[in-house]
Amino acid sequence: MHISLAHSPDPDDAFMFYALAQGKIDTRGYEFEHILQDIQTLNERASRGELDVTAVSIHAYAHLAKDYALLRSGASMGDGYGPLVVGKTIFTRDELLRVRIAIPGKLTSAWLALLLFLGCKPEEVNAIVVPFDQIFAAVSEGRADAGLIIHEGQLTYAEEGFVASVDLGKWWNERTGGLPLPLGGNAIRRSLGPEAMAEISDILQASIRYGLEHRKDGVHHAMPLGRGLDFERTDRFVGMYVNDLTIDYGPRGREGVKEFLRCGHAAGLVPPVEVEFI
């Protein structure tokens, strides 16, 4: 069976699917077509039901649960760290409501987390959508005063001359008494049927386990998508977002997802959703 498998062009997703891409594990007769696109595009494609298995923002999943279930593996969780708001100067929470902020997409979990932090509706923020890898440029060029940074920019922002106003993963951890901030997950199309969904879940989990067991090879595989990160920092970034919570959400991870979406719904930002893990 042909399966479209989509993920972001960044090191942690590449590391997760290293074993699958390189034929290191048994695919049980499934043929996986790897599709690499930015997370906002994947969120939008999933909303149209175009992909069998795809990385999605947990924020976006609130709008996709009718057609997709979350796989038990593949989560990107910020456990005491996460997306950052950066700029040439530090802004207070009140100032962030007045300045222009470059964001990586309005379905990203980083955007939902920022709205929860600010305690406001989307229309109350002066936000512009910029591809995630162009946010530094938008701030440097003055098109935005601050930028909402995801992916490896969390490690390199200081080198670009920026300072951080808030770490949303740290804020969420403190707000919830220690829960990780759920950023992305792997979603699978329900129309594939229970048997295929379960088998594909096992295959993707095996790919993540293999990468963690052969970490050096997996990091080398991921480096071309690191946008200039050396081996050490690629390994560090992979470790932030591919770990035990990625193999399986576990109780903390599952509660983190549910609490994040509960808070989003309570704030009037997402619809109510029952989360199912496959």
Q: Which residues are catalytic?
A: 151
Sequence-separated contacts (24+) of 167-170 with Cβ below 8 Å: 167/81, 167/82, 167/83, 167/84, 168/78, 168/82, 168/83, 168/84, 168/85, 168/110, 168/113, 168/114, 168/117, 169/78, 169/79, 169/80, 169/81, 169/82, 169/83, 169/113, 170/80, 170/81, 170/82
Instruction: Identify which of 262, 46, 244, 40 has the alpha carbon closest to the alpha carbon of residue 151.
Output: 40
Q: Count CA atoms closer than 13 A to 62's CA, side-chain side.
A: 24
CA distances from residue 112 to 89, 125, 148, 157, 249 in whole angstroms, order as listed: 23, 12, 11, 21, 20
d(CA 23, CA 245): 24
